[in-house]
Structure 1
Amino acid sequence: MALSRPLRPAKTKVMSERQSNAADTDNWQRRTVLVVDDEAGMRSFLSRALEGKVDAVLTADSAEAGAAVLEQRHVDLILLDVALPGASGVEWLKALRAAGNPADVILMTAFADMETAIEALRSGAADFIVKPFRVDQMLNAIRRCFDRARLARENYLLRRELDQYTIHKHVVGNSEAMRKVMALVARVAPMPSTVLVTGESGTGKEVVARELHRLSGRQGQFVPLNCGAMAPELIESELFGHARGAFTGAAGARHGLFLYADGGTLFLDEISELPLPMQAKLLRVIEDRRIRPLGTEREMVVDVRIVAACNRNLAQEVAAGRFRQDLYYRLDVVSIAIPPLRTRPEDIVPLAGHFSEQLSAQLGLPVVPLSPSLVRLLQAYDWPGNARELRNLVERALILGEYPVELLAQGEPGPATHAAADDHAPADDAVLLESVERRHILQVLASEGGNRAEAARRLGISRRTLDRKCLQWGLRP
């Protein structure tokens, strides 16, 4: 049964599609398209139609010639004729999918029937177009492919976002120190330069990095990676992607975070944990703006702004031989130092209010008010865990219905003040402290399904500390 071509739409609809296509092609500038057709006229026609809309249009007159192109260049989309000399378009498509090539493929044919269309879609084609076709038909098919790829990328990043535990989404703070930080962020954000964000653990380095991205005007995504949380042997694949069979367990091809961050910002947290061999590769990518997935010979051009963060002194790491000096200077184009929470006590109440509002909505629990005596206690505390520790305290308060101020007393003499009613604390503070701590740790551990690594990250303590406490309480892994 022959496939019928769609009727010519009304003029107003054609104009609407053309306007939509013009807007969509603004996002095509970094895409590369390969046209594989044995007819020189068709190759020329499609090349002219796509000229100026995409970054590059490559052509080949056979599947074999197309395969040679893919060995040298990364391609986002293939416009593939079914009837080719040698291997047919459908046969080559099956070979591409078997090899794990993720590029979208639009099949073209002048002799279409339902069986061919079904076989093409089952073989992994993204779309199927019958010759002869109009330019707007092909542009619409390309737009659908690019939109699907964009949505897939956004969904992947959203899943990563939901899996990550962030302190908060916006920078909160009215202190003079934080006003200076945000003034520097606003000045640096529109620039493409790399930025190094420094500060103690828990000060909110990722939040500042997100604000840099938000104010940058970049159209791509913000993609975070904690270098200290990845196994050293997996970091290269995570950043650059890999081909099928590139290493043991690589059952299929996969894009890397650099590609997902194309046009946006890649945030490399705990950059000091990056192994030395990867530091050299990262330096090369920053300088050349090209990546090479594992197991491939092709290079891919990427437009990624790098923001790195570290809670160590990188200059000292360089002196100790644990960090490359050339990479340090390449990252430290602009440095933003986030002051610890203990040096800006005026930010504690706004932060606590922000955390209370956020966590109250997440946990479905009422906000616990701050009494004047508790505010004084919060501002007098040293906050070794910074904003992350404050968030954990607020979460404890919502769960318990009151602020466990005995955690803030720091062993000072005299009665501690209770948040809700300013009553005297129980005599045995040590017993109460252990009880509250154990209850909260077990609740967080239960909420993470027993995942101790994630629970330790949420609690702001090391995995070793959590294991030791669980052992004391008779809990086995």
Structure 2
Amino acid sequence: MGAPRILVVDDNKDMAQGVAMVLREAPAEVESAYTADEACARLGERAFDLVVTDVRMPGQDGMQLLDVIVERWPRSKVVMLTAYGTVQSAVEAMKRGACDYVTKPFNNEELLLVVKRALRERQLEEDLQRLQAEFEGRYVFEGLVGRDAQMLGVFDAVRKVAPSHATVLVCGEHGTGKELVARAIHRLSGRKGPFVAFSAAALPDTLIDAELFGARKGAFTGADHDRKGHFVEANDGTLFIDEVGSMPPLVQVKLLRVLQEREVLPVGSSTPTKTDARVVAATNTDLLRATREGRFRDDLYYRLSVVRVALPPLRDRIEDVPLLAEHFLSRRCSERGIAKKRLSHRATRVLLLHEWPGNVRELMNVIDRAVLFCQDDVVEPKHISFDEEATAADLSEPQSYEATKREVLERFQRLFVERLLHECDGNITEAARRAGLTRAAVHRMLKRLGIAAPHPEARRG
């Protein structure tokens, strides 16, 4: 960044030039204007980091100029100068957007101190905006938020699959963001048609059939008009079918035919209709297991899962909880038009130690309630309530964020290692291979966590 630019505004030319001379020692690039109108013209021509303006000027005064700058050039900081300084006028200037206030007569050191502080504040805001943009570019992706390696893998998969015509199966528990993934795929696909969402759960077979494939008037009781069906509505767009695993067998057959032939046959009609809807399906169940048990057609499963995107539960990416919480907190405060709030360390610890059975959706609800109940700038544990009034944390002793992070990571590692050893029947070599670790690293982890290594003979027995 080059030298900051400052505009000095004062109807007294000698005063304006004297102030400009002092401020060049900041160091800064300084220009002078002698009326509010001239100042506005300069501001319209180029950006200034700081405006130092007298309050009393003929015509438009400094307070009026301040209002214009706040409205039209909000990134420019404003410092007010006046020989008529009172507490009331200083408070008024700060309320209206000035960052500081200096009363004439002043010494040069005082003025330079105030100006340097204002410029430092301006630089910090610029750095924060840059970091926020970098952060959002990396960790906020099409409505999805995360820096966990699993989520970054999801972001990458969505980017790669979106431009294709492949069907996608999104797998994950309730509340993990399956529809957000589907919407992201649609937005990045370049398709001109709409995004249409449909849930196959808790609907009668006939109604699922009509909703998806359409129906002719009189085809069944209550069909008092023709229905296009979601496949036709989503033509040249994306059809998101949630809870696809709950579809009845006859609907599975029709869905398979649509995916194969790219045409639908409405209920009560003998004439098929062409469709170019791209299908993104979602499930919170193990569809592969359902195929083995005969509850879901295996040929339909393989048609739907050309690309499979797996969303991890929130408990498996616990380090994303503070990131998600701050994201939801900022968004809710902005939507309600209130000052931004932040989470205290103790509140963050409460969130980190919760199990999150409802995943990201539950976290969003918790933050929504906290925004409603918190009347201060900082969200504390007392503002946080869960759907089940229980948490694993004993909050009587405050802990730092790092201490809480270590506690949560140790719990995650313990669960991970125990599950891995169970799946590998206690075989440490196989467990190390699956985890991408050496045998020595697995042994060290077992020792640190106090988990007894399985005895070879116990495994054989």
The root-mean-square deviation of aligned C-alpha atoms, in Å, is 2.3
Check 1:232–1:353 CA distance in 2 against 1; reply closer, same or farther (3 A cut).
farther
Specify the alignment match of 2:273 in structure 1: 300
Q: How far is the alpha carbon of 1:169 from its aligned partner? A: 6.6
Task: Report whether the alignment pairs 1:227 with 2:200.
Answer: yes
Q: Give distance in 2, aligned partners of 1:416 and 1:318.
A: 50
Q: Give distance in 1, aligned partners of 2:349 and 2:256.
A: 47
Q: Give distance in 1, aligned partners of 2:262 and 2:194.
A: 17
Q: 1:216 aligns with which of 178, 189, 196?
A: 189
Specify the alignment match of 2:331 in structure 1: 358
Check 1:311–1:416 CA distance in 2 against 1; reply closer, same or farther (3 A cut).
farther
Q: 1:265 aligns with which of 235, 238, 242?
A: 238
Q: 1:410 aligns with which of 391, 409, 412?
A: 391
The question of whether the paired residues in 2 share the 8 Å contact of 1:366 and 1:398 is answered with no
Q: 1:382 aligns with which of 355, 366, 377?
A: 355
SS at match of 2:280: strand
1:93-118 deviations in Å (ceiling 9; x for gaps): xxxxxxxxxxxxxxxxxxxxxxxxxx
Superposition pairs of residues 17-36 of structure 1, within 5 angstroms: none
Q: 1:281 aligns with which of 226, 241, 254?
A: 254
Check 1:292–1:211 CA distance in 2 against 1; reply closer, same or farther (3 A cut).
same
Q: Give distance in 1, aligned partners of 2:146 and 2:361.
A: 14
Unaligned stretches of 5+ in structure 1? 1-167, 419-477
Check 1:173–1:412 CA distance in 2 against 1; reply closer, same or farther (3 A cut).
closer
Q: How far is the alpha carbon of 1:417 from its aligned partner? A: 6.8
Specify the alignment match of 2:414 in structure 1: none
Q: How far is the alpha carbon of 1:386 from its aligned partner? A: 0.8
The question of whether the paired residues in 1 share the 8 Å contact of 2:369 and 2:384 is answered with no
Specify the alignment match of 2:287 in structure 1: 314
SS at match of 2:145: coil
Check 1:173–1:230 CA distance in 2 against 1; reply closer, same or farther (3 A cut).
same
1:413-463 deviations in Å (ceiling 9; x for gaps): 453879xxxxxxxxxxxxxxxxxxxxxxxxxxxxxxxxxxxxxxxxxxxxx
Specify the alignment match of 1:397 in structure 2: 370
Per the normalisation by structure 2, the TM-score is 0.51
1:214-258 deviations in Å (ceiling 9; x for gaps): 111111111111111433320111011111111111111121111
Q: How far is the alpha carbon of 1:305 from its aligned partner? A: 0.8
Specify the alignment match of 1:191 in structure 2: 164
Q: Give distance in 1, aligned partners of 2:147 and 2:200.
A: 31
Q: How far is the alpha carbon of 1:379 from its aligned partner? A: 2.1
Specify the alignment match of 1:242 in structure 2: 215
Check 1:222–1:229 CA distance in 2 against 1; reply closer, same or farther (3 A cut).
farther
The question of whether the paired residues in 2 share the 8 Å contact of 1:181 and 1:336 is answered with yes
Q: Give distance in 2, aligned partners of 1:399 and 1:374.
A: 15
Percentage of identical aligned residues: 44
Q: Give distance in 2, aligned partners of 1:393 and 1:416.
A: 22
The question of whether the paired residues in 1 share the 8 Å contact of 2:197 and 2:240 is answered with yes
The question of whether the paired residues in 2 share the 8 Å contact of 1:365 and 1:399 is answered with no
1:158-202 deviations in Å (ceiling 9; x for gaps): xxxxxxxxxx97111122221111111111111111111101111
Check 1:234–1:406 CA distance in 2 against 1; reply closer, same or farther (3 A cut).
closer
Superposition pairs of residues 70-81 of structure 1, within 5 angstroms: none
Letter in 1 for 2:171: T
Task: Report whether the alignment pairs 1:342 with 2:323.
Answer: no
Letter in 1 for 2:396: P
Unaligned stretches of 5+ in structure 2? 1-140, 400-461
The question of whether the paired residues in 2 share the 8 Å contact of 1:374 and 1:417 is answered with no
Check 1:406–1:206 CA distance in 2 against 1; reply closer, same or farther (3 A cut).
closer
Q: Give distance in 2, aligned partners of 1:415 and 1:405.
A: 15
Check 1:316–1:252 CA distance in 2 against 1; reply closer, same or farther (3 A cut).
same
Q: Give distance in 1, aligned partners of 2:291 and 2:283.
A: 13
Q: Give distance in 2, aligned partners of 1:406 and 1:258.
A: 41
Check 1:372–1:412 CA distance in 2 against 1; reply closer, same or farther (3 A cut).
closer
Q: Hey, which bits of structure 1, 4+ residues long, moved more than 6 A?
A: none
Check 1:190–1:169 CA distance in 2 against 1; reply closer, same or farther (3 A cut).
closer
1:29-56 deviations in Å (ceiling 9; x for gaps): xxxxxxxxxxxxxxxxxxxxxxxxxxxx
The question of whether the paired residues in 2 share the 8 Å contact of 1:365 and 1:398 is answered with no
Q: Give distance in 1, aligned partners of 2:342 and 2:390.
A: 19
Q: Give distance in 1, aligned partners of 2:244 and 2:338.
A: 37
